[in-house]
Chain A
Amino acid sequence: MSYNVPAELRYSKSDEWVRVEGDELVIGITDFAQDQLGDIVYIELPKVGALITPGESFGVIESVKASSDLYAPVGGEVVAVNGDLEASQEPINRDPYGEGWLIRVRPSGAEEELLDAAAYTAFCEERGH
């Protein structure tokens, strides 16, 4: 099975994506991640104003059969949160790079080691898919 890995994004090894929008970064989980989890039933996101640290947990995401921490691919201050997801998590499964975005961050400059689309695709395949 092949997954949608948009070329213009960068990716963490914990399956989050990062998109540059002006001075800010938008963060979500990848198509691979949503497929592995299955139907998402719950998500816990930070509040606006919270500081996130690369490599550390900034939230929790749950499906019926799995629970996973969300790890910050970059550091910075949370400037917006996708509040719609509290009531309905379905967009994360349906449109992980669009409507299913999680948080918007004003970056501090600190970053995890991020992969480009080709490297991330290879990383997904390595894990048996």
Chain B
Amino acid sequence: MNTYEPHIYELSTPGKHGASLPMLDVPESTLPADLLRQDGLADFPELTEPEVVRHYTRISQRNYSVDTGYYPLGSCTMKWNPKLNEEAARMAGFAAAHPLQDAADAQGALQLIYELQEYLGEIAGFPAVSLQPAAGAHGEFAGILVFRAYHLDRGDHDRVEVLVPTSAHGTNPATAAMTGLKVVEVKGDARGNVDLDDLRAKVSPRTAGMMLTNPNTLGLFDEQIVEICEIVHSVGGLMYGDGANFNAILGIAKPGELGFDFMHYNLHKTFSTPHGGGGPGSGAVGCSAALAPFLPGPVVVKNADGSYALANPEKAIGRMKAFHGNFGMLVRAWTYIRTLGAAGLREVSEMAVLNANYVRVKLKDVYPQAIDRICMHESVLKGQIAGAPKDVRTLDIAKRLIDYGFHPPTIYFPLIVSEALMIEPTETESKQTLDVFIDTMLQIAREAVETPELLHAAPTTAPVRRVDEVRAARQPILRYDREAIARVRSE
């Protein structure tokens, strides 16, 4: 099944088609000849339904996925995607409802949005939630726009800096740049927390706010979180919570109670909506009462008569996308929360953290832990194996895991840890799976010392082996081009 599958254009035969369409049942109108396309879609492929289905089924088999295997992928939370969620999102009243139909005709959809707003607010301790943003980064963008709008609304025009820890996801500094703000980096301390002295030195009346992931990207819960929030608030700054790691603290702590003013939720991580090979995600946002008037709209409100309606917050920063957010993802997240309830959600985090610590303690003697502490839902280890040749890198360990049937962990992130290996088991994996993974990691460590060539050559069992990324970037081929592809083949 790992054999090469041709490009869809190479499977085309003139005259074929794969869809059944109605006959024209009205008189033909004149087509405006000078406005028509000239090429008759000459490049477009022509295939039958079985040919198309077989092609995409075949290429699907060249993918790794949660349904086929275990992903210890730190920061990404590749938990099980419950199948009920997929059924729910496909119910006709959700999947075939038009976003602009009259509110009276969409009460079920609006109720679901309203309830999800309420649930997410309750889980994170925020009085207001908007489900508009389409992804975590989109939520971050909304959040920093809200910070800006809030300060400006108070006549506070000089807040041009955003504090970001050196360990942050790239989206944090990129978000600040998109909103015209300057990034000020804050260092970490020896325990992997924010360095409070450095933070105190960097806050000022120019501080618009701080973006912080907690648990942080080292998989550690910052014990000084309350003080951090106080320091930022003391200069009039606001605290942004990056919810990428929220799955560790459901029912354990509410960011709103810890001192965060705003947070995005990655529904595609914490709330089990599937990753889809890179999206769609969903990046709901929640905030304090003070920031609520600025949330992106529309949001759903409940009228006095119990009906639901769309409304824009009073000083909304605007809309982040067309319509009401990635609704199909909202249905899945709603279903997930209703399946688990309060106790179930807390158990999610407890098991995620227990699993992560179990893997950590079993591996840390061989793969040194970046900072030796109890971790949250993930741990950051180093691919530095005692006795292995210097040219065995974390990348080699990651690629060797593929040969054993696992997806590699996240590697080389966070940037502050050299040879980082970030492992997030999630709560949905069994002890049996974790034990096999641990044994495999230990086996690879032995190979790194005894037969390092196996690691350098890996993977050898995947659909393709290591690829030449330099070639792809120097002579980019970004669409089907028969001659260019033939050149690559013949080189």
Chain A residue, CB-CB nearest to B470: A39
Measured between beta carbons, the chain B residues less than 8 angstroms from A62 are 473
B474 lies within 8 A of chain A by Cβ: yes
CA distance A64 to B469 in the complex (A): 7
Measured CB to CB, the closest approach of chain B to A62, in angstroms, equals 8
Q: Say whether chain B's binding surface is mostly helix, strand, loop, or mixed.
A: helix
Residues of B463-488 contacting chain A, CB below 8 A: 469-470, 473-474
Measured between beta carbons, the chain B residues less than 8 angstroms from A89 are 474
Residues of B368-423 contacting chain A, CB below 8 A: none
Residues of A29-45 contacting chain B, CB below 8 A: 39, 41-42
Measured between beta carbons, the chain B residues less than 8 angstroms from A41 are 470, 473-474
Chain B residue, CB-CB nearest to A39: B470
Measured CB to CB, the closest approach of chain B to A93, in angstroms, equals 10
| Number of residues on chain B facing chain A (CB within 8 A) | 4
CA distance A49 to B431 in the complex (A): 66
Measured between beta carbons, the chain B residues less than 8 angstroms from A88 are 474
Measured CB to CB, the closest approach of chain B to A37, in angstroms, equals 12
CA distance A1 to B140 in the complex (A): 41
Measured between beta carbons, the chain A residues less than 8 angstroms from B474 are 39, 41-42, 88-89
Chain A residue, CB-CB nearest to B418: A128
CA distance A89 to B470 in the complex (A): 11
CA distance A3 to B474 in the complex (A): 25
Measured CB to CB, the closest approach of chain B to A13, in angstroms, equals 18
Measured between beta carbons, the chain B residues less than 8 angstroms from A39 are 470, 474
0 or 1 for each of A36-58: is its CB under 8 Å from B? (1 = yes): 00010110000000000000000
CA distance A11 to B243 in the complex (A): 43
CA distance A25 to B354 in the complex (A): 61
Measured CB to CB, the closest approach of chain A to B425, in angstroms, equals 27
CA distance A116 to B69 in the complex (A): 55
CA distance A88 to B475 in the complex (A): 9
CA distance A64 to B467 in the complex (A): 12
Measured CB to CB, the closest approach of chain A to B414, in angstroms, equals 15
CA distance A39 to B470 in the complex (A): 7
Measured CB to CB, the closest approach of chain A to B458, in angstroms, equals 19
CA distance A42 to B470 in the complex (A): 10
Measured CB to CB, the closest approach of chain B to A107, in angstroms, equals 30
Chain B residue, CB-CB nearest to A89: B474
CA distance A90 to B126 in the complex (A): 53
Measured between beta carbons, the chain A residues less than 8 angstroms from B469 are 64
Chain A residue, CB-CB nearest to B474: A41
CA distance A64 to B471 in the complex (A): 10
Measured CB to CB, the closest approach of chain A to B346, in angstroms, equals 39
0 or 1 for each of B73-92: is its CB under 8 Å from A? (1 = yes): 00000000000000000000
Chain B residue, CB-CB nearest to A42: B473
Chain B residue, CB-CB nearest to A88: B474
CA distance A39 to B474 in the complex (A): 10
CA distance A89 to B476 in the complex (A): 14
Measured CB to CB, the closest approach of chain A to B171, in angstroms, equals 16
Measured CB to CB, the closest approach of chain B to A68, in angstroms, equals 14
CA distance A42 to B473 in the complex (A): 8
CA distance A45 to B470 in the complex (A): 20
CA distance A42 to B474 in the complex (A): 7
CA distance A41 to B474 in the complex (A): 5
Measured between beta carbons, the chain B residues less than 8 angstroms from A42 are 473-474
CA distance A59 to B286 in the complex (A): 40
Residues of A51-96 contacting chain B, CB below 8 A: 62, 64, 88-89
Measured between beta carbons, the chain A residues less than 8 angstroms from B473 are 41-42, 62, 64
Closest 3 CB pairs of A and B: A41-B473, A39-B470, A64-B469
Known: A39-B474, A62-B473. 10 other contacts (CB 8 A): A39-B470, A41-B470, A41-B473, A41-B474, A42-B473, A42-B474, A64-B469, A64-B470, A64-B473, A88-B474
Residues of A within 8 A of B (CB): 39, 41-42, 62, 64, 88-89
Q: List 13 A-B contacts (CB under 8 A).
A: A39-B470, A39-B474, A41-B470, A41-B473, A41-B474, A42-B473, A42-B474, A62-B473, A64-B469, A64-B470, A64-B473, A88-B474, A89-B474
